[in-house]
Amino acid sequence: MSALAPATRAWLEGLGFAVENESLWSEALTHGSTGEARDYQRLEFLGDRVLGLAVAEQLYRRNHGSEGELAQRLNALVSRQVCAAVAREIGAPDHVRLGKQARDDGAQGSDNVLGDVMEALLGAGMIESGFAATQAIVHALWERQVAGIAGRSKHPKSALQEWAAGNRRKPPEYALVERSGPDHAAQFTVRVGVHNVGEVTASGPSKQDAETAAAKLFMETYG
């Protein structure tokens, strides 16, 4: 019996992936809520590294900015939000395998889930076809993002760090206040403060997102 639905296999091949081991690709699309022995987490770990190197090489060749500028753009382009946006563009939500409760909770449209699945697919591509072939797919799928504005403006955390230094203040301090919600719809609340200036709290779907939102709010309030 085939591990993939014919429509899912056709979709993957249409994206440029070479599908040999169907069980591997099924794993890449399987969320932990299904209760199956293997889900996408290990492949996500690998795909995250593949994505980072592929996009870093793409930026290096096409952008003559400084190391700091390249790093800023890279962080934006491999973020969970961008991974999820690419996953939506290619139609991934229709192929993610979820347990009933997770599907009822809206996990199919979650940035957390779709971002993880996108990276897991790249991990599976690496296992099946190696880095060069997977890199070519990343370059094609991320073309619009790389050519766009993602990461071109100063990141809020960098802006806050520079503001504190420029005003002879201690560096900003971030603290996780609360984590709530299920894994596929987690909510993080972070507090950021600068000594003798003030502090604010903000929330987001990941700790990094919450820290970014807090830095932005701090600058809007005290900057």
Point out the catalytic residue in the list 44, 48, 116, 211. 48
128 phi, psi to nearest 5 deg:
-75, -45
Residue 116 is a catalytic residue: no
State which amino acid sits at residue 175: A
Residue 22 is a catalytic residue: no
107 DSSP 8-state letter:
G
Q: Say if strands 198-204 and 187-194 run parallel, antiparallel, or are unpaired.
A: antiparallel
Distances (CA, A) of 159 to 74, 79, 94, 141: 17, 18, 38, 30
Q: How far apart are CA 145 and CA 82, in angstroms?
A: 8
Q: How far apart are CA 138 and CA 123, in angstroms?
A: 11
153 DSSP 8-state letter:
S
State which amino acid sits at residue 7: A
Q: How far apart are CA 105 and CA 209, in angstroms?
A: 21
- The closest alpha carbon to 32, from 85, 97, 95, 91, belongs to 97
State the catalytic residues: 48, 119
